[in-house]
Structure 1
Amino acid sequence: MSGIAPGPEREERWEPDVLPGFERLTLPLAPDDEGDVVATLVRRVGPGADAGVDLLYVHGWIDYFFQTHLADFWEGLGVRFHALDLRKYGRSLRDHQTPGYTDDLAVYDEDIEAALRALGHAAPDAPSSAHPRKLLLMGHSTGGLTLALWADRHPGRADALVLNSPWLEFQTRYLGRRVLEGPVRAHAAVAPRGHLVNVDQGFYVRSISRRYDGEWDYDTAWRPDSGWRATPAWLAAVFDGHERVAHGLGVDVPILVLLSARSTAPVRWHDDMLRTDSVLDVPGVARRVPHLGSVVTLVRIDGALHDVTLSAAPVREVVWRETARWFHGYVAPAAPTPTTPRPPWWRRLFAAPGAVSRSAAPTPPPGRSSPRSPAPTAQSRL
């Protein structure tokens, strides 16, 4: 953590973001062999409704934060929304850097820690760690894998975790991954930043971009149509993460996993790619979901894309409904249980044992029996 200054000593300089109504904070990190490194935190300008919950969102591979409607949803629940562009992605990418490059997913601990410090959720051993607000983490695809591994390594830091199509297993599943692992690691040892074969044919871009068959606008300099050439060191790091998930994590907080109901292999274009996950192998990922922790909710959504929040409007409504239901069950502060007010002390002092007020037990008219006692309520049975 040498690249992060303690919170009280670092001056926060928020500046206008490329997204209207948002602002961003540059987070300096420790330099690596490519030079200076930063991460970037994004939030909406101005306070909104507040339920006492902070959310940190982390994007996936060849991605950055542009989903303002996602911020709208969480802020509608009173959640204070922040998004993090990791080092060498989006707002944090510099000309001298290899896009998306890392040889260890744990390197993002520094990015996440810098963001949490800016949110006020410092590490437990830091003087400013005490914070009354809950912390909710949300990650998409590779970001979902990264956050799951982070939460496993840092028990007690977060209160809940939402994973949007997390990349928990390689597309060729376990056996295919083990076959590829040897050559990939050998390549990584010789040329860690070398280029692997690019198998991205642009089908997913076609399903989400308004310039094709989708409905979303984003910066193609930060999310290019042709993608990036993956490096062997990066893929080896992802394989390490997949192996850890396969052996089982011990995430100690409630987890919500959102997946499409189906996947379509990106071999050739098909209209099914407009309503399925054309990036990941959904059945392979779903098999890994129980390996995350002890309290995991899996929601399979018919018609969802790889990023379920970029699906068609009717599908997004299902995403919002299921996410809100889980949030209110596991994260939102519980409403106080209504209780019957106690009578004043002077009435309790002078009341005879077993006595009740006339309003509670009226005297029946002559010749009539007393009214039948009501059945006990659930509260009274408890």
Structure 2
Amino acid sequence: MTGGWEQDVLGRPFERLTLPLGSDQEGEVVATLVRLDPPRLASLTGPLRDVDVIYLHGWSDYFFQVELARFWASLGARFHALDLRKYGRSLRPGQTPGFVTSLDVYDADIAAALEAMGHPLEGPPSRRRLVMMGHSTGGLTATLWASRHPGRLSALVLNSPWLELQLGTLGRQALSPLVQMRARVDPMGAHPVVDLGFYTRAQTEVGALPVRGYRREWRPERGFPTHPGWLAAIVEGHRRVSAGVDAGCPTIVLLSTRSTNPFAWNAEMTGSDSVLVVDDIARAATRIGREVTLARIEGGIHDVFLSRPTPREQAYLALERWLIRGVFGRSRGLRRARASG
């Protein structure tokens, strides 16, 4: 760890910790952990007072969702967000933003973050329960990580996870050999720009942006350029999901009820997912575990927690109900029954 905890760009009471991960051909590699502790009363009496949360952002993204952090903290949880290598706070000059050739690379980022949170992967699990939350590409990464680390998570929360390519299963299968071949020949080659900035515009239209501490250079309006080596890693992740994985814990998938064509601006983008084909994601969600809850949010955008106030409130209510009345309420009831028995 480098330099200990310090004040984050989001301002007090958010803090950040730099996690060194060695180096590669582009120089020093780090991840960055951001934390928000719950208010004292919530930490003592909140329904999630024994829960730690780690959040993984999506592609061309970083953590800035202050309201989301405060939601978890208000329930008593210790909230943490991880800016993965070459994203956001972890992006260093001269690095290719977000570039990896396998999503498994992020195991090192997550392991370093969990160590700092008191959840080391070596040895017995912490007494505190661990929840992983992932958005979009972070949702795909979180799902695959959970399937490789059974028993580590008490719950998995997925916010519009990128579980399938926008071309659908058949389209992905047809495209995959070409993607893999180009990744071998020209991993850092250029792709055509497909992000026209409409998703960022939709967030601005609904009032989700800007927020305190927002850095456009960490989240450009039209996204970072993509490369064949990175796309091959994504397609391989989709192949694994399609073949079936087991997150090994109760999982909730929050999604908009509908998608919108991303290549031409229209007002419907402020109340729909203009990034993913949500019905394909809903189908893919049936292949990530044995206990999966699907919550479709009317009027939600790609990040449902950045939607207009009404769908955003619906998303928070669905998540809170699932956590307190479902996953953690049930486990507490079982523990009480065992104790009284």
Q: TM-score, normalized by length of structure 1?
A: 0.82
Instruction: Say whether the 8 Å CA contact 1:60–1:141 is kept in structure 2.
Output: yes
CA apart distance, 1:47: 5.5
Counterpart among 241, 245, 269 of residue 245 in structure 1: 241
Counterpart of 1:72? 70
Distance across 2 between alignment mates of 1:334 and 1:159: 12
CA apart distance, 1:180: 2.1
SS at match of 1:269: coil
1:51-130 equivalences in 2 (<5 Å): 51-123=49-121, 125-126=122-123, 129-130=124-125
Distance across 2 between alignment mates of 1:240 and 1:59: 19
Distance across 1 between alignment mates of 2:2 and 2:104: 26
SS at match of 1:277: coil
Counterpart of 2:32? 40
Instruction: Indicate how the Cα distance of structure 1 residues 253 and 337 shifts in structure 2: closer, same or farther if over 3 A, else same.
Output: closer
* Larger helix share, 1 or 2: 2
Counterpart of 1:291? 287
Instruction: Indicate how the Cα distance of structure 1 residues 46 and 157 shifts in structure 2: closer, same or farther if over 3 A, else same.
Output: closer
Counterpart among 1, 4, 9 of residue 13 in structure 1: 4
CA apart distance, 1:130: 4.6
SS at match of 1:272: helix
Counterpart of 1:199? 194
* 1:238 counterpart letter in structure 2: I
CA apart distance, 1:182: 2.3
Deviations 1:95-139 (A, max 9, x none): 12100000000000000000000000001x34xx45210000000
Distance across 1 between alignment mates of 2:130 and 2:21: 22
Structure 2 unmatched runs, 5+: 44-48
Distance across 2 between alignment mates of 1:294 and 1:227: 34
* 1:216 counterpart letter in structure 2: L
Instruction: Say whether the 8 Å CA contact 1:42–1:84 is kept in structure 2.
Output: yes
SS at match of 2:217: coil
CA apart distance, 1:35: 1.6
Aligned residues: 325
Measured on the aligned residues, the alpha-carbon RMSD in Å equals: 1.8
Distance across 2 between alignment mates of 1:301 and 1:259: 6
SS at match of 1:139: strand
Instruction: Say whether the 8 Å CA contact 1:206–1:214 is kept in structure 2.
Output: no
Counterpart of 2:327? 330
CA apart distance, 1:177: 1.2
Confirm or deny that 1:23 pairs with 2:15.
yes
SS at match of 2:313: helix
Q: TM-score, normalized by length of structure 2?
A: 0.91
Bigger relative contact order (CA 8 A; separation at least 6): 2
Distance across 2 between alignment mates of 1:316 and 1:282: 17
Structure 1 unmatched runs, 5+: 1-9, 342-382
CA apart distance, 1:12: 6.4
1:149-298 equivalences in 2 (<5 Å): 149-209=144-204, 212=205, 214-217=207-210, 218-298=214-294
Deviations 1:247-272 (A, max 9, x none): 10012100010000000011211111
Distance across 1 between alignment mates of 2:91 and 2:186: 21
SS at match of 2:131: strand
CA apart distance, 1:183: 2.3
Deviations 1:220-260 (A, max 9, x none): 11001121111111010000000000010012100010000
Distance across 2 between alignment mates of 1:130 and 1:274: 42
1:332-371 equivalences in 2 (<5 Å): 332=329, 334=332
Confirm or deny that 1:312 pairs with 2:311.
no
Instruction: Say whether the 8 Å CA contact 1:23–1:45 is kept in structure 2.
Output: no
Distance across 1 between alignment mates of 2:26 and 2:59: 19
* 2:328 counterpart letter in structure 1: V
Instruction: Indicate how the Cα distance of structure 1 residues 159 and 247 shifts in structure 2: closer, same or farther if over 3 A, else same.
Output: same
Distance across 2 between alignment mates of 1:322 and 1:148: 20
| Greater gyration radius | 1
SS at match of 1:331: helix
Once the two structures are aligned, what percentage of the paired residues are identical? 52
Instruction: Say whether the 8 Å CA contact 2:208–2:307 is kept in structure 1.
Output: no
SS at match of 1:29: strand
CA apart distance, 1:187: 1.8
Deviations 1:76-103 (A, max 9, x none): 1111100000000000001121000000
Instruction: Indicate how the Cα distance of structure 1 residues 12 and 79 shifts in structure 2: closer, same or farther if over 3 A, else same.
Output: farther
